[in-house]
A and B are shown apart, each in its own frame.
Chain A
Amino acid sequence: MTATGTYAPKPGAAPLPRMIGAQAALETRMLLRNGEQLLLTVIIPTLLLVLFSSVDIVDTGEGEAVDFLAPGVLALAVMSTAFTGQAIATGFERRYGVLKRLASSPLPRWALMTAKTLSVLVTEVLQVVLLTVIAFALGWSPHGSPLFVLLLLVLGTAAFSGLGLLMAGTLKAEATLAAANLVFLLLLVGGGVVVPLEKFPSGVQDVLALLPISALSDGLRDVLRHGAGMPWGDAAVLAVWAVVGLAAAGKFFRWE
């Protein structure tokens, strides 16, 4: 006997690529629709780039200020999306049962995480395009290999995603919101984004240099400002953060 009514059962999961694509598209729309997220991911990096390039607030050393600032702001953009934005969004998704509801849908967990990563990458592409255009308008003259830049951005994304998801999966949503914003601010100041690390006392400098934001901004700056080869030291710092962060997130993340 086969039921034929409107609601007659006809279950089945959609093909994986369709599920992941739909999930990534939805996550990206949610992010771009959220005003606070846009402030972090678009407005703050743009303002910093424009402001610090055109007004002599911080001594950025010899050469055009924008050549110092653009790599730092690109690193900040990656952090704002992969860490701050992802932590806050995921924390509230957990709090409001979105992760729970999706966990009983046909979408596997790994596919949800893949979709989240895709959504982060799409947002980063938009950020990089926007910031690059603005930087060029401000007289930026980048050097180095785009491949090295890409590799650093991907490593940075992995490192920040691990830390962001670790925070979102273990703290309360409100705590994540507060902590993610605080960390964003602290790393913005102390991570070589707009203030050169050389401005800090030498003991502090050594510690700050091990932060993921410092490694990313320093690595990007080596390549883009000085045309250096692949900065393996910075890449190694990012890789360690990525492995530790993602492993810890995988182990401690609580879905409810």
Chain B
Amino acid sequence: MRNEPVVQVQALVKRYGDKTAVDGLDLVARAGVTAVLGPNGAGKTTTVETCEGYRKPDSGTVRVLGLDPVRESAALRPRIGVMLQSGGVYSGARADEMLRHMARLHAHPLDVDALIERLGLGSCGRTSYRRLSGGQQQRLALAMAVVGRPELVFLDEPTAGLDPQARRATWDLVRDLRDDGVSVILTTHHMDEAEQLADDVAIIDAGRVMAQGSPEELCRGGAENTLRFTGRPGLDLGSLLKALPADSSAAELTPGSYRVTGKVDPQLLATVTSWCAQHGVMPDRISVERHTLEDVFLELTGKELRS
């Protein structure tokens, strides 16, 4: 079951006039949480909205839960939950009123009161949507996406503009959804969000997937990692190198300050410390620098994330 793809996008192309928003994008998302990570304008929203059935591909194919989102929309819509980047609510509606309405459109909705409580929407009271804070509007949109007990939820930048507490609450809900068997596709330009939540990350730039894999795979794959330690100056690095795997390197940056680069894993750490022990070296300030998703992203796209 886990290996059944929930979303399959093949060679998707979508243009708006002269501008190519999505340019031959391939993406397979399986059960669990998939983060679509990329800078603004990378094509994240276009990709997700094509999966939701809002946009017809100019070419390529899209299958969501095995269905064509445009032609088989009627069968697909009850099975997915959608959180738009903004809006989606009558400006004069109250939060609980809109959520109850969405619940009524589904056969087996969640307990609305419990969901209101869970997402702290009770504080919205009788305030109409247009007067809610940005965070309250975001949480309502999230609640509307999950209230119908969907199999698959699309969240388009679910934590944009949220304060840390609300962001944490959103993360917790996404984790609970996954634990209860709901698949989640979320777009974000926050590296830490992808790292924290996703089983699988697709890095998108300029309308294409640049890399895809688990956060660990991505961090291990592209970038080199670094181990640093200090000891007495002038250690025999040649003998250290012999003990290390072939693709590693070692250098004394300043007298007594050493750097080892390569595939930094528990084995490498053990090799370095036992080599030190054999040579009577106390490796002070030993530290491991593993690359973050941000490093990987910058290596792949060569540019800063724009928020």
Interface residues of A, Cβ cutoff 8 Å to B: 1, 3-15, 18-19, 22-23, 26, 29-30, 33-34, 92-93, 96-98, 100-101, 103-108, 256
If A97-B86, A100-B84, A256-B54 touch, does A7 touch B149 (CB 8 Å cutoff)?
A: yes
Q: Is the CB of A97 within 8 A of B88?
A: yes
Measured between beta carbons, the chain A residues less than 8 angstroms from B151 are 9, 11
Within 8 A of A (CB), among B101-159: 101-102, 104-108, 110, 114, 144, 146, 148-151
Q: Is the CB of B148 within 8 A of A22?
A: no
A-B contact pairs, 24 of them (CB 8 A): A1-B1, A6-B110, A6-B176, A7-B146, A7-B177, A7-B180, A7-B181, A8-B182, A9-B79, A10-B107, A12-B78, A12-B108, A13-B107, A30-B92, A96-B89, A96-B90, A97-B86, A97-B87, A97-B88, A100-B84, A101-B87, A105-B77, A105-B105, A106-B105
Q: How many angstroms from the CA of A168 to the CA of B179 in the assembled complex?
A: 43
B53 in the interface (beta carbon within 8 A): yes
- A-B Cβ contacts below 8 A, count: 122
Q: Is the CB of A5 within 8 A of B179?
A: yes
Measured between beta carbons, the chain A residues less than 8 angstroms from B199 are none
Add 15 more A-B contacts to A7-B149, A7-B180 (CB < 8 A). Answer: A6-B110, A7-B176, A7-B182, A8-B149, A11-B148, A12-B78, A14-B106, A18-B104, A26-B101, A30-B90, A34-B92, A97-B84, A106-B78, A106-B105, A106-B148
Interface residues of B, Cβ cutoff 8 Å to A: 1, 52-54, 74, 77-80, 82, 84, 86-93, 97, 101-102, 104-108, 110, 114, 144, 146, 148-151, 176-177, 179-182
Q: Is the CB of B52 within 8 A of A14?
A: no
Q: How many angstroms from the CA of A12 to the CA of B92 in the assembled complex?
A: 28
Measured between beta carbons, the chain A residues less than 8 angstroms from B148 are 11, 105-106
Q: Is the CB of B107 within 8 A of A98?
A: no
Nearest chain B CB to A159's CB is how many angstroms away?
26
Among B91, B150, B176, B180, point to the contact of A11 (Cβ < 8 A).
B150
If A7-B180, A8-B180 touch, does A103 touch B54 (CB 8 Å cutoff)?
A: yes
Among A13, A29, A101, A256, point to the contact of B78 (Cβ < 8 A).
A13
Nearest chain A CB to B282's CB is how many angstroms away?
50
If A11-B79, A13-B107, A34-B92 touch, does A5 touch B181 (CB 8 Å cutoff)?
A: yes
Among B1, B77, B87, B176, point to the contact of A96 (Cβ < 8 A).
B87
In the A-B complex, the 5 residue pairs with the closest CB atoms: A97-B87, A12-B107, A5-B180, A101-B88, A3-B181
Which residue from chain A places its CB closest to the CB of B118 in the assembled complex? A6
Q: Is the CB of B78 within 8 A of A5?
A: no
If A9-B182, A12-B106, A98-B87 touch, does A104 touch B82 (CB 8 Å cutoff)?
A: yes
Measured between beta carbons, the chain A residues less than 8 angstroms from B79 are 9, 11
Residue from A29, A101, A104 with most neighbouring chain B CB atoms (10 Å): A104
Measured between beta carbons, the chain B residues less than 8 angstroms from A104 are 52-54, 77, 80, 82
If A5-B176, A7-B176, A104-B52 touch, does A92 touch B91 (CB 8 Å cutoff)?
A: yes
Q: How many angstroms from the CA of A101 to the CA of B176 in the assembled complex?
A: 24
Nearest chain B CB to A34's CB is how many angstroms away?
6
Measured between beta carbons, the chain B residues less than 8 angstroms from A1 are 1
Q: Is the CB of A108 within 8 A of B74?
A: yes
Q: How many angstroms from the CA of A96 to the CA of B180 in the assembled complex?
A: 32
Measured between beta carbons, the chain A residues less than 8 angstroms from B52 are 104
Q: Is the CB of B181 within 8 A of A96?
A: no
Measured between beta carbons, the chain B residues less than 8 angstroms from A34 are 92
Q: How many angstroms from the CA of A26 to the CA of B129 in the assembled complex?
A: 14
Measured between beta carbons, the chain A residues less than 8 angstroms from B82 are 101, 104-105
Q: How many angstroms from the CA of A103 to the CA of B55 in the assembled complex?
A: 12
Nearest chain A CB to B144's CB is how many angstroms away?
7
Q: Is the CB of B149 within 8 A of A9?
A: yes
If A97-B88, A100-B84, A106-B106 touch, does A8 touch B101 (CB 8 Å cutoff)?
A: no
Q: How many angstroms from the CA of A253 to the CA of B92 in the assembled complex?
A: 23
Q: How many angstroms from the CA of A11 to the CA of B103 in the assembled complex?
A: 11
Q: How many angstroms from the CA of A61 to the CA of B305 in the assembled complex?
A: 74
Q: Is the CB of A19 within 8 A of B104?
A: yes
Which residue from chain B places its CB closest to the CB of A13 in the assembled complex? B78
Among B91, B107, B150, B180, point to the contact of A6 (Cβ < 8 A).
B180
Q: Is the CB of B181 within 8 A of A8?
A: yes
Nearest chain A CB to B6's CB is how many angstroms away?
11
Q: Is the CB of A22 within 8 A of B84?
A: no
Which residue from chain B places its CB closest to the CB of A95 in the assembled complex? B87
Q: How many angstroms from the CA of A15 to the CA of B106 in the assembled complex?
A: 8
Measured between beta carbons, the chain B residues less than 8 angstroms from A5 are 176, 179-181
